[in-house]
Structure 1
């Protein structure tokens, strides 16, 4: 049955979001902010609709929900509570062991006395009284669970007493910038306790309204202000968890208060927000086999595991309202969870497995290595991840599964100590999240294939009952396929070395009952192949045809005109407003590539663009005729200017003449050419266009950065190819042969 939200929109948002995921890629060959300052935040809030959240929506599709919310519908639904009650009554394992953890916890006491405060401070030079708040939240949540499992209203009354005490007393949150963590972590936790209790007849309507008002007026303004401004710092300054906890709070408050504006803010920031907590930045780099390097991996593992706890809470709360963030971008969150689980699961000999690592940079640091600090941190978050992907969806999640089973039954508040996340998440996942296994999916899913230096890198998601996997290849779509590898276990990746051409792949699983069906097909191209070709030979109008027939036509914008070119006509750009716009995500299916054009530059200030394809100032690839040091530069990044990988050439683009420029990427090797001659190169360009993700600002002659100048001159014969051309091929292109 569809949720009420799915019925109201006529389409399953879960299905829609998952469809934004995997592309069949083709190509080729205690947190303290360093800027902490003492502050007390305003608690005034006029109305939900008057508060907007600044977002970068360049390439993603906004989610706009409507209709009635599911209640209870945050971390737990009524169906979840009914399952818990049934399993506990039957003393079924492991639910019953999880129940024992709950009733043994000191927060589940009818003698608990709340200690509400007018102001709660975290950080700064004053008294640090925030533990009073998180202990009372842990008690309210534990008692609420007790009531839902047993029906004992004495525990319901205790939970209500705690929440009423705070809603009638708390007026503000303060401290230094760490107040943002308090508002985020304790905001989403407190809202979850309130959501459980909202149906209790013993909670007076006026008291529930007062609780909603506290969440809206004390917690939410800090949450939304942080995501909007990041305390006026560079957007990469704050680690992923700062964004994640504030997203979680906004989402939870939105459901608690039946406010779609808030809920949608959180969902859409998770999808394409500018900060490090948005999923594309949180899972910083996808390694083969879908091991997704988490953004805090080079910092320490205590905070890295917290990211999984917070990200999982966001995904589950969204799922219970019909939005599949778990599956978004080909299960990108699962990729992050599997990476973190594998890196932190202690082996029988006391050691840890190694995981691949890509250097990470932000405005403050460059981290070249995996951090072993706090490695092995245990947080009560793995039951949720394991049960969603394996027992609810039928996917394989081997490392999250091993971690969940190794630490069950998961406890709750205080069971793990404050340093290992005892109060950063609510816990009790063995009781609340464990579910009977669903049927495994029929075939491996999410298969991607991208070419890298002539090889093809394949990754896929396995089936829950998979033992091993086979890779099959064909020279035409639909087969016939030939098995080229079998017996593949962990990680689920394979590197093929085919001859130059276009190749089609599927994967099947070997299970105890035999071979599964084949996965969906993925295609990879290992030969130079035209992708986009704008001749600009039109004599009028505002469009530039794509001669490849691939539908990548350009649109002339801002006064761009046609003039005589190097070959036929060209597009003339005036340096003030003119540029050419290409279709959304035009290079999202590229790995190795060649981009080439004839360029006539009239000169001007640094940082004009020959081309710039991106989603704002966080994710892009560009070529400039002159950077601040006076030379041509190509760069590509998924983390803004601080994370750029690229080439500084040895010369600037000459002015007042036609020049042929080209840039290629083969594996991690990028090369920049001028008039057929190499003028620069780099061998550490680990980003390819597909890693940049969805883009809606794909421009010739204009920069992602508003302060950069527009290109002044003409551009002709703009070409994109799959695969990296050889030096001889570039020379031939420059010579027109």
Structure 2
């Protein structure tokens, strides 16, 4: 028997909303600056409109904005912690982006040639990004490189097609692999840096699945860098507010860049969760302007970072990140942003976004605009909705998608199973969400959504399929009834499990257990898909006599043996058994240390396989990094009358759950 259930499909084809002769997947240029923005900036400089013109002088006079800038690279390898060429890459990334902007303002081809020279050189030579902080290295400077490339590609800079293809290949094969699984093990600014660069690469490379993955992660990602996990409450407190103010400003600025890219693509990430992004900026700006804000100590998603009070380190040192958000909420959305505005005015004109390539900067030039009373997208047929997700709840399915600019309402369609015909189940949904209460447990449904305004209806979003509840035969049990309740949701061929509890120690069992009936001579194999959230997480598989606490069973588990260094535990695989109800667990076989590529820098960043095989009167347990070469971990040679097979997940912490994905679950 093979479990094949889909929980969430990242969806929707993004089309150029304005009518063109051929449909396009993305709006171009469509990262931090669209065509209208570049025209507005160019006109503002030509007409000496303030504060744009003063902002232009900040850019023009910067040493990395010169067409005679001396390129410092390229290099074959760059890295962070240990540092290898970090400053070299970041300086050249700054220069590439800044020269690209200068090209659009001045029409001086020499700026375009400099920007192309830098992008081409690094795209042809850089082969790897290394170090313990590689994700951060790949999430910062490369964001500027991709923005430069996007501008050059779509502003008649005479960039050779072969060089454009080289840049696409470089971004997808050198940069993207480093950031593809985000940074769930770290503070949120890492996660959000990876997120914005992923969005940028997706747009430049016209890669819709990559873009959809990023859009969904921005809203629902398990790590510290998704919007609700970084700006943790309605007051605007941030995950790093208790760490220091520099990193807090870094994190919210990354999220703002994501929202701006989405805006250029016809999507309103700025407005989700009741303008949560603005609340984070207001809270941070208010505190850094010297005023008091409420603070609630809160454990982060990794389980490593708990700050008793808001940080004073870096307080008052405003970064060049406020103009983008101030101008959106006040001049586009016509809302109040009192402290964000004060911060923007205090920094104005925004300089380069130092240190290194942390921020774009120059926001006074790039984002200053007058009040926009009508969104241009209200005058054209809406874009296709993006980020359609379908989440099973108790006897219902909750649909959400990113609000579409200019949409008046949405139409929701549903089909039963993939071969069924779509039928409209709601024709005038006002908000970008819908709860389908007319569902049957265990049945698969497929949904799509379209946006409607006075100019017409968009194309249907890419379908999202989901099973209401778990597939037939599967159940979820908390092995310790006193633990916080865990849950599981179906994936295509596996599950996402949110688990709780301290794990398996002695005769104690605290974990979330998702299980199915086991018959003799069966095999259970699962593939862990990186990455997990709580860095104290344990997970694995089990054959048990029942779902009762402290019952007879065999377990194959991966978990961290926490050393003195909290950031560097040793990850191990063990097989344990309980031969009689209530007995302590005994180990079967040796402990295996998990090594690269599954573990890197003491983090579980790679996927791996676990397998239990029941044959005759014994159970054998196996581990594999690739699903091909299997290593025997232990054998339990007893007839234990095992009748259940399942997945075990525990967070290793009292107050924090963990999220673990198993993209393949095979019970055969």
| TM-score, shorter chain, exceeding 0.5 | yes
Q: Note if 1:140 corresponds to 2:96.
A: yes
Gaps of 5+ in 2: 16-23, 376-429, 431-439, 443-466, 490-494, 513-532, 538-547, 551-645, 651-668
Match of 2:362 in 1: 428
Query: Equivalent residues in 2 for 1:526-537 (5 A)?
Result: none
CA contact (8 A) 1:606 1:628 kept: no
2 CA distance for matches of 1:315 and 1:355?
A: 26
Query: Which residue of structure 2 lines up, in the alignment, with residue 734 of structure 1?
Result: none
For residues 63-102 of structure 1, give each alpha carbon's deviation from its aligned partner in whole angstroms, at most 9, with x where no partner exists.
4233321111000011001111111111111001100101
Query: Following the alignment from structure 2 to structure 1, what is the Cα–Cα distance between the partners of residues 86 and 549?
Result: 61
Instruction: Determine the structure 1 residue equivalent to 2:312.
Output: 372
1:363 pairs with 2:303: yes
Cα separation, 1, equivalents of 2:299 and 2:357: 28
1:294 equivalent to 2:258? Answer: no
Separation (CA, whole Å) in 2 of partners of 1:269 and 1:159: 31
User: How far did 1:632 drift?
Assistant: 14
Give the direction of change, closer, same or farther, for the CA distance of 1:388–1:124 in structure 2 (3 Å limit).
Answer: closer
Contact 1:607 1:628 in 2 (8 A): no
TM-superposition CA deviations, 1:464-516 (whole Å, max 9, x none):
xxxxxxxxxxxxxxxxxxxxxxxxxxxxxxxxxxxxxxxxxxxxxxxxxxxxx
Conservation of the 8 A alpha-carbon contact between 1:74 and 1:320: yes
Q: Look up the match of 2:330.
A: 390
Question: How far does the alpha carbon of each residue in 1:716-735 deviate from its partner, in whole angstroms, 9 at most, with x for none?
Answer: xxxxxxxxxxxxxxxxxxxx
Partner of 2:211: 263
Give the Cα separation in 2 of the matches to 1:304 and 1:380: 13
> For 2:49, which of 89, 92, 97 is the aligned residue?
92
The answer to whether the Cα contact below 8 Å between 2:10 and 2:216 also exists between their aligned partners in 1 is yes
Cα distance in 2, alignment partners of residues 258 and 153 from structure 1? 26
Q: CA deviation at 1:577?
A: 4.2
> Which residue, out of 187, 209, 214, partners 2:142?
187
Give the counterpart of 1:340 among 284, 287, 291: 284
- What's 1:43 paired with? none
Tell me by how many angstroms 1:354 deviates: 3.3
Q: 181, 188, 203: which is aligned to 2:159?
A: 203
User: Does the residue aligned with 1:368 lie in a helix, a strand or coil?
Assistant: coil
Q: What corresponds to 1:117 in structure 2?
A: 74
Q: 1:360 deviation in Å? A: 3.0
- Name which of 640, 648, 664 aligns with 1:707: 648
Q: Give 1:297 deviation, angstroms.
A: 1.0
| Deviation readout 1:106-131 (Å, 9 max, x if unpaired) | 11112212132333333345x53111
**How far apart are the structure 1 equivalents of 2:535 and 2:84?**
37
- Rounded to whole Å, the distance in 1 between the matches of 2:307 and 2:241 is 9
Task: Spell out the pairing of 1:214-253 with structure 2 (5 A cutoff).
Answer: 214-224=170-180, 226-227=181-182, 230=183, 235=184, 237-253=185-201
Count of residues paired in the alignment = 417
* Other-structure match for 1:153: 109
> 1:49: which partner in 2?
none
Distance 1:405 1:184 in 2: 28
Q: Could you tell me how far apart the structure 2 residues matched to 1:317 and 1:558 are? A: 37
1:402 paired to 2:342:
yes
Query: 1:556 and 1:321 mapped to 2: Cα distance?
Result: 34
Aligned to 2:84, the other structure's residue is in SS state coil
Given the superposition, is the C-alpha separation of residues 360 and 303 from structure 1 closer, same or farther in structure 2, using an over 3 Å criterion?
same
Point out the structure with max Rg over C-alpha: 1
Report the Cα offset of residue 201 of structure 1: 3.9
Matches within 5 A, 1:561-576: none
Q: Distance in 2 between matches of 1:358 and 1:440?
A: 41
Change (3 A) 1:118 1:436: same
The separation in 2 between residues aligned to 1:114 and 1:301, in whole angstroms, is: 32
Query: Tell me, what secondary structure is at the counterpart of 1:425?
Result: coil
Distance change (3 Å), C-alpha of 1:619 and 1:708: closer
Gap change, CA 1:151 and 1:631, over 3 Å in 2: closer
Over the residues paired in the alignment, what is the CA RMSD in angstroms? 3.9
Q: TM-score, normalising length from structure 2?
A: 0.56
Equivalent position of 1:323 in the other structure: 267
**Could you tell me whether the CA contact under 8 Å between 2:64 and 2:94 is conserved in 1?**
yes
